[in-house]
Amino acid sequence: MPPEIAAAARSGWDQVEAAVDDHHLEISLINGDPGPDSFLLNDAGPRLDALIDWSTALRGSLLYDLASFRVLTMSAWPAAAGWFAAGYLSETPQIEPELQHLYVVIKARWIANAIYFASRIERGITRGARSPTASEDGLAQAYRGLTQTADAG
């Protein structure tokens, strides 16, 4: 990873750890990678909707799934993050006070993206990419996400 991105990732991780420790963010089982195609929606109503594809499930801050969804949908479907957050809060209202720390947990997702794209670049992986510069573009986007302020995040 280029030094400036690695430094931003280290700084972001320090912020994530401090938020989890200082504010006692709730830790539980999370999906880890919910995106727009991670849902099975039922026409009969939202109570029958489901978050699917739990292959990346792990223990972490309940805010991480919200952060991941926001990062994964921000360019193609920005309004979806509000919908997802509303649904998430209806099922886990205890995290509402934690939402003020969401911007920090979003940094954790940007760190994951930076690691992913830097690894693809280092290993010369281009399969599955939509363009020859997809990994470089993804790494640059992760850096921008890591260096955003709380207001922009």
- The answer to whether the beta carbons of residues 153 and 106 sit under 8 Å apart is yes
- The answer to whether the beta carbons of residues 61 and 20 sit under 8 Å apart is yes
Structure tokens at 48: 């029958």
Question: Mean pLDDT for the chain?
Answer: 88
For the chain, where are the alpha helices, taking DSSP H only? 3-23, 63-73, 80-91, 102-123, 134-147
Strand partners, 41: none
pLDDT at 67 over 60: yes
Instruction: Give residue 10's pLDDT.
Output: 96
Instruction: Give residue 34's pLDDT.
Output: 87
pTM of the predicted protein model: 0.85
DSSP 3-state of 30 = strand
Chain centroid offset of residue 74 CA: 10
Instruction: Give residue 126's pLDDT.
Output: 84
Nearest to 38 by CA among 64, 75, 72: 72
Contacts of 56 (CB under 8 A, 6+ apart): 31, 32, 33
pLDDT range class, residue 74, cuts 50, 70, 90: confident
pLDDT range class, residue 7, cuts 50, 70, 90: very high
pLDDT at 6 over 70: yes
The pLDDT tens digits of the residues spanning 127-143 come to 877 888 999 999 999 99
Structure tokens at 33: 């990678």
H or E segment and range at residue 37: none
pLDDT at 151 over 60: no
Residues 142 and 151: their CA atoms lie apart, in Å, by 17
Structure tokens at 28: 């539980």
- Beta strands 27-30 and 39-40, pairing class: unpaired
